């Protein structure tokens, strides 16, 4: 179609007007970048870089003992891997563009799970062991991978096991939420003032989840002989961040009891909480679904998976894939109809984690047998096995920044 000179002049004037009007104005924040690679973490001090176009391992990185958890920067250029094994002190920085280890940092006693903030400027690292009798949180600058701040928090009791677990960031990146499993507290660090708050949890805290609107923190606590496993909801908008709701898991017909992880659905309407079972008694099978608004139980499912740990949202938000610690079965849930779609046997070891392609066509599943399995999400069948030659797999699989494992970028 031919465009006359007058039309071109009008278009040019409109573009100039828009440019002047928006110059210096705040632009919408860019969402996280999806990597063309999947990073597969292995407890045997290795990480594998898999090209999703060829489904081949294109690089292998040395990491640290027990390094099964990590976090990707929002620009998908780096991954921070935490070595939680006995005697470990290292966080390993992987540069995906150069396909090399960029830096190794000593942070403290058994770094558990370094997590990059939504702005991609800081990494908060908690630790499975105390340092000189204190909980240690370390903050790393992403810009130059330097140690930015060390926060040490006194505890009152003796450790009952590992002393921390998982973390989350406020949506604006100011507050870092972590776990104190010695005194059963939620820890909140203000990364502008470096003030520290602690708030009691109903029982041993495990997993903090910030609500999609940023106004609440939903804390999964494990439960004990006196307190049922469930969720405590903290109001982040009120002074003192009080607990405003408590929800217990129904635990219908469960043979073993210990709450593990939880996450919101992609549309933010529901929260999925999982019963794993304690220690090596990995027989929990319940997924409890609560309304994000009313805080009431709306449905529950019993999975063929045992020791259920994670419900990974698909990119379109219509399904979730349940992975576990007890067997080699994944359970696929239809979140619209709130029903089980399929139970699928995969590999020879327990199932670990999932990363989806951005279009949701495929999922990459980690397994304790050390292999990565490519799942066709339309056919719900494994279409390829990507071997690594390493056992003790089942670690995290990453290809995009997330605040918690199971929720994907929204919007």
The per-residue pLDDT for range 173-188, each reduced to its tens digit, is 999 999 999 999 999 9
Contact partners, residue 120, CB within 8 Å, separation at least 6: 73, 74, 75, 142, 401
Cβ pair 270, 295 in contact under 8 A: no
pTM across the whole model = 0.92
Check: CB of residue 305 under 8 Å from CB of residue 343.
Answer: yes
Residues lower than pLDDT 70 in the chain: 1-29
The SS3 assignment for 111 reads: strand
Contact status, residue 54 vs residue 37, Cβ threshold 8 Å: no
Half-sphere exposure (CA, 13 Å, Cβ side) for 55? 15
Q: Of the candidates 210, 203, 265, which has an alpha carbon nearest to the alpha carbon of residue 233?
A: 210
Closest of 72, 46, 111, 80 to residue 393, by C-alpha: 46
- Tokens encoding 409: 């970028």
Q: Tell me how many degrees the CA angle 338-400-365 measures, rounded to the nearest 5.
A: 55
CB 360 within 8 A of CB 321: no
**pLDDT of the residue at 374:** 98
Cα maximum dimension of the chain: 80
As a dihedral over the C-alpha atoms of residue 294, residue 300, residue 306, residue 308, rounded to 10 degrees, the angle is -20
CA neighbor of 120 nearest in space, from 166, 81, 83, 169: 169
d(CA 255, CA 284): 7
Q: Residue 13: in which H helix or E strand, if any?
A: helix 5-22
Q: How far is 217 from 292, CA to CA, in rounded Å?
A: 11
Strand 286-291 to strand 270-275: parallel, antiparallel, or no bridges (unpaired)? antiparallel
Residues in contact with 10: Cβ distance below 8 Å, sequence separation at least 6, in sequence order: none
Instruction: Say what the pLDDT of residue 199 is.
Output: 98
Strands (E) across 175-296 are located at 175-180, 185-190, 196-200, 205-210, 216-221, 230-235, 243-248, 259-264, 270-275, 286-291
Q: Name the phi and psi angles at 17, rounded to 5.
A: -60, -45
- Strand residues in 32-145 grouped as ranges (E): 37-42, 44-51, 56-65, 69-72, 78-82, 90-95, 100-106, 115-116, 122-125, 134-141
Nearest residue to 405 (alpha-carbon basis) of 283, 261, 242: 261
* Both tokens assigned to 375: 């799942």
Q: Output b/e per residue, 367-399; b: 16+ Cβ within 10 A.
A: bbbbbbbbbebeeeebeeebebebbbbbbbbbb
Of the candidates 406, 410, 369, 400, which has an alpha carbon nearest to the alpha carbon of residue 387? 369
Q: Which CATH architecture has domain 32-398?
A: 7 Propeller (2.130)
């Amino acid at each position: 179609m031919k465009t006359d000179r007058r039309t071109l002049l009008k278009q040019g004037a409109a573009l100039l007007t828009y440019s002047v009007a928006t110059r210096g104005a705040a632009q919408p924040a860019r969402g996280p970048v999806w990597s063309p690679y999947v990073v597969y973490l292995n407890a045997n001090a290795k990480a594998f870089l898999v090209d999703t176009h060829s489904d081949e391992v294109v690089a292998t990185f040395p990491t640290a003992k027990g390094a099964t958890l990590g976090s990707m920067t929002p620009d998908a250029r780096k991954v921070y891997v935490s070595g939680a094994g006995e005697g470990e002190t290292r966080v390993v920085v992987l540069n995906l563009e150069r396909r090399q280890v960029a830096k190794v940092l000593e942070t403290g006693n058994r770094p558990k799970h370094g997590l990059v903030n939504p702005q991609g400027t800081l990494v908060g690292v908690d630790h499975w062991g105390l340092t000189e009798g204190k909980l240690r949180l370390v903050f790393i600058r992403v810009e130059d991978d330097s140690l930015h701040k060390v926060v040490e928090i006194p505890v009152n009791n003796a450790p009952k096991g590992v002393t921390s677990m998982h973390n989350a960031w406020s949506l604006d990146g100011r507050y870092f939420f972590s776990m104190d499993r010695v005194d059963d507290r939620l820890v909140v660090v203000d990364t502008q003032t470096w003030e520290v708050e602690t708030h009691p949890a109903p029982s041993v805290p495990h997993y903090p989840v910030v609500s999609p609107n940023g106004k609440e923190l939903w804390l999964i606590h494990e439960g004990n002989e006196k307190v049922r496993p469930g969720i405590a909801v903290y109001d982040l908008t009120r002074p003192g961040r009080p607990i405003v709701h408590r929800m217990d898991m129904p635990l219908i017909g469960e043979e073993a009891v210990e709450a593990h992880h939880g996450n919101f659905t992609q549309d933010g309407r529901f929260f999925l909480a999982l019963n794993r079972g304690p220690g090596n008694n990995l027989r929990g099978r319940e997924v409890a679904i609560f309304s994000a608004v009313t805080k009431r139980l709306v449905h529950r499912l019993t999975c063929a998976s045992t020791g259920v740990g994670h419900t990974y949202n698909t990119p379109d938000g219509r399904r979730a894939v349940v992975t576990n610690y007890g067997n080699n079965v994944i359970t696929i849930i239809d979140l619209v109809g709130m029903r089980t779609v399929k139970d699928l046997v995969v590999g020879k070891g327990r199932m670990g984690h999932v990363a989806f392609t951005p279009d949701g066509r495929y999922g990459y599943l980690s397994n304790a047998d050390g292999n990565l399995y490519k799942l066709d999400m339309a056919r719900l069948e494994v279409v390829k096995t990507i071997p690594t030659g390493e056992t003790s797999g089942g670690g995290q699989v990453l290809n995009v920044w997330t605040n918690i494992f199971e929720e994907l970028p929204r919007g």
